[in-house]
Chain A
Amino acid sequence: MGYDLTLRDLHDLAEGAAVLGTGGGGDPYIGRLLVEREMAAGRRVHIIDAGELPDGALVLPSSMMGAPTVFVEKLPSGGGNVAAFRALEEHLGRRAHAVMPTECGGLNSMIPLMLGAQLGLPVVDADGMGRAFPELQMQTFGVLGVSGSPMAIASDHGDVCVITAGDNKRMEQLARALTVQMGGASYISDYPMDSAEVRRTSVHGTLSLCRDIGRTLREARAAHADPFDALTAMLAGTLYSLGVVLFRGKVTDVERRTVDGFARGRAVLRAIDSDDVLELTFQNEHLVARRDGRVLAIVPDLICTLATETGAPVPTESLAYGQRLTVYAISTPPIMRTPDALACFGPAGFGLTDPYVPLEELLPAART
């Protein structure tokens, strides 16, 4: 059933979103402040289940596109996401019933909450990534046949464009080029859907999942309990079902290079009391975890780097020599593991040659 988000829920949701960001997706902090200001002004954030949408209603996602580094420096005006949303409504000639996230991991978990509060619209508790991914076509919506465009993109300067693209990958490329001209960050509404499409093509319950992850970490800290044990117990009852500690160690090497605007790299962790070594490969988000060349977890399953003492998520851009981290993996729901889904955002979608093997099948290797 629907519920109003409390301030404490919001803080929990932001931390859980950073966990599901799997090292990328941008720090939700600025987004959380934006939502806090809406709530302080007396506006509410109302979250509804996809099942609560009336049949035939229009739902428009909302998110930011571009560099989180720009977003934390050139802070938003607060009007860009509204402008994109309204422009898409106008283009479609219909009013939307609700807003929803495309990406529950990282900063983009927060943008639809802000917009929902600004416009007085409910926010659907579902998204199209179930985590964070770097590109607009990497969505279950598109994998299951929804067209990303027409989409609208807006800046803080009053610029608004509507894009109708040949396919979702071309939409990504066109919107990326506009984003650069808009200063490196923009606000978008894409993948317009009706209620049935939302129910059929989205990963359900992911905003509440973020909130529950954040709450579990907070409560474990307060009780001086192991945050990872608590997380594993909590995830067992969700769509994601399995969470497991893959490795504990210290960062001994980080190597980064930028390719086409994406930060690719690898990080090496060494166990504290043995010579065991884990290697993480990332492209903004973590893609693969390997020990002695053997894959322990691979995209789209989630590979999260969390501070060993607190369970606090550590993004790939902050990885640094000497950090004490726990690598924690979470299995993805079935909708993200179909052959079409894997072709889009599985190993092949990132140019990796390793085949996808589900986390639960790799687990025996992880435990030896």
Chain B
Amino acid sequence: MRIGIDVGGTHTDAVLLDQDMNVMAEIKTATTADVTGGIVTALSTLLERSRLDRGRVSAVMIGTTHFTNALVTRSRLARTGVVRLALPATAALPPTTAWPAELVDAVRPLVRLCHGGHEFDGRPISPLDPGELKRVAADLAAHDITTVAISSVFSPVTAEAELAAADILRAELPHLRVSLSHQIGRIRMLERENATIVNACLLDLADEIVDAFAAALDTVGVRAPLFLSQNDGTLMDAEHTRSYPVRTFASGPTNSMRGAAFLAGLADAAVVDIGGTTTDVGVLTGGYPRQAGTDVDLAGVRTNFRMPDVISIGLGGGSRVTPGPDPRVGPSSVGYRLTEEALVFGGRTLTATDLAVAAGLADLGDRSLVRHLDRDLVRRGTAWMAERVAGLVDQMRLSADPLPVVIVGGGGILMPPDLPGVPEVRIPGHHGVANAIGAAIGQIGGEVDRLFLIGSQQSRDDVLDQARAEATDLAVSAGAVPSSVEIVHVDEIHVNYLPGNAVRVIVRAVGDLDLGRARTPEEAPQWATT
């Protein structure tokens, strides 16, 4: 039995899945300001409802927006040191270049450019200067700074400089917590460094959140290993989260899409998530969301994280309707005030939900309150919504082959049983808790993203084999069942204007979580800060 929990801004949802991944129970509770309290309520309600022996819970998976929210609201961010190993290169664009001023004020980074770093082919740019790094350590101590982000030029090619600098700093400051850029991001200095600094700022909060989750499990008497959802839909264990909180960013949309596809029994589908204000459409291939090709802004900070490719429009259950010969729905919405403002709830605003009730698509509130609506308006309005959603699905399609659609979210009632041009529409059971399901079914992954040189010593096949083997090893060492590991993504990006054939290879491997190997938080060793 495994439990999946989704901690959103408004709701905390929880589901219980048996070993064959059948949904045994689901609940929705309000998110509370007190982290432990919200999880305790969700867990104890779920366990009571299912009358399950706590000892039979083998793992708990949590998807959370805590860390994203901390960055967006610029609260609880620790003051952080930033060390870049690069001189004489890179001086024209120091760390936190192009950050929003408010975020710089919130983090107050202590920035030091130092010698070190490598060229693309592994030659050093300049040797590390231990004296320079010892002076940085003294500065950090003088400012009572206990976390530091270290980035080095081409560290995704060779991590040597970052590791050596971390050792020198820790020798001076044994309690220093260190985030290393090669463990956080990909090639492109500013974007990788940005994500590393954000990660470092969140380390203290990560301890607090993981402790609160562990305390919640303890309070309800569940002694099972704890995992958190990452942005790519895979899991990391709780101890890992203490070192890599930034990897939880954007796990929400990913979990929602994966949960939806799982519930519908489809690996390739478009997922339409209709909420109160917006509709998100994404596409799953092989059970994982297609990733966006563009850069991702986190609270105004540019990073090169991979995020799901999702398009959003302002259409939801609370969307306001503009009547007329060509009725329009949205983008403005009454949002969470739907149950006060919509006509069917005795309010005075004509909303998308009112059209759906009047059209007989849903039975909600008091039907008699929308009986007076013009039949033509209702027909045209509901048809317009269905066409808009079908149009988005069409935009996201990869080929001329039609794609089945899975609809989740409370606004699913707006959609008719058939969408124009869509072969199949499914609204699966438990669709209201798709996020928590997505967390519960999370697998374990490993990824390689580096520059390789193809030449006489290494053919293209050798390079790809090596990358596949490394990704598989990473997945297994992160806790995947070896026999279940599959390569889910291979990408080769040729690098222009370099000698020979420099290729950036990205390989992702994913496998099932090995519950036999997973440890409870108490059993796990303290995670090293590298």
| A binding-site residues for B, Cβ under 8 Å | 24, 30, 33-34, 36-37, 66-70, 72-79, 134, 156-158, 176, 179-180, 183-184, 250, 252, 256-258, 261-263, 265, 270, 272, 275, 284, 314, 317-318, 320-324
Contact = CB atoms under 8 A, between A and B. Distances in A.
Contacts of A314: 293
B88 A33 contact: no
Interface stretch (B8-16, B185-193, B370-378): B185-193
A68 B496 contact: yes
Contacts of A261: 496-500
A258 B90 contact: no
A76 B98 CA distance: 16
Nearest to B503: A258
B190 A321 contact: no
A112 B175 CA distance: 46
B142 interface: no
Contacts of B495: 67, 69, 258, 263
B84 to A, nearest CB: 9
A75 B496 contact: no
A24 B502 CA distance: 17
A263 to B, nearest CB: 5
B290 interface: yes
Contacts of B499: 180, 261
Contacts of A73: 120, 153-154, 187-189
A270 B399 contact: yes
B59 to A, nearest CB: 34
A60 to B, nearest CB: 20
A321 B120 contact: no
A74 B117 contact: yes
A77 B293 contact: no
A138 to B, nearest CB: 14
A159 to B, nearest CB: 11
Q: Which 6 pairs, one residue from A and one from B, show the smallest C-beta to C-beta distance?
A: A78-B92, A75-B90, A67-B497, A258-B494, A183-B119, A156-B89
A74 B90 contact: yes
B496 A317 contact: yes
B510 to A, nearest CB: 19
B91 interface: yes
Given A69-B498, A261-B497, A323-B293, 13 more contacts: A30-B93, A67-B120, A69-B504, A74-B120, A75-B92, A76-B89, A77-B89, A134-B496, A156-B89, A180-B499, A183-B89, A262-B496, A272-B395
Contacts of B123: 183
A258 B88 CA distance: 30
B228 interface: no
B167 interface: no
Contacts of A33: 93, 97-98, 190
10 contacts: A33-B190, A67-B495, A68-B496, A69-B502, A75-B92, A75-B153, A158-B88, A184-B119, A184-B497, A317-B493
A250 B92 contact: no
A191 B36 CA distance: 68
B501 interface: yes
Interface residues of B, number: 46
B400 interface: yes
Contacts of A272: 394-395, 397
Contact of A69 (B187, B283, B400): B187
A321 B504 CA distance: 17
A250 B93 contact: no
Contacts of B153: 73-75
B383 interface: no
Contacts of A258: 494-496, 501-503
A75 B498 contact: no
Contacts of B92: 34, 37, 75-78
B160 to A, nearest CB: 16
Nearest to A264: B494
B86 interface: yes
Contacts of B397: 250, 272
Contacts of B86: 74-75
B187 A156 contact: no
A354 to B, nearest CB: 23
Interface string B294-331: 10000000000000010000000000000000000000
Contacts of A34: 92-93
A92 B241 CA distance: 60
B498 A74 contact: no
Interface in B451-494: 492-494
Given A69-B498, A261-B498, A317-B496, A77 B394 contact: no
Contacts of A250: 397-399
B415 to A, nearest CB: 22
B505 interface: no
B497 A78 contact: no
B106 interface: no
B90 A70 contact: no
Contact of A76 (B90, B294, B496): B90
* Among B154, B283, B498, B503: residue with most chain A CB under 10 A: B498
B145 interface: no
B114 to A, nearest CB: 14
* Among B92, B187, B188, B494: residue with most chain A CB under 10 A: B92
B125 interface: yes
Nearest to B187: A73
Contacts of A72: 187-190
A322 to B, nearest CB: 4
Nearest to B492: A256
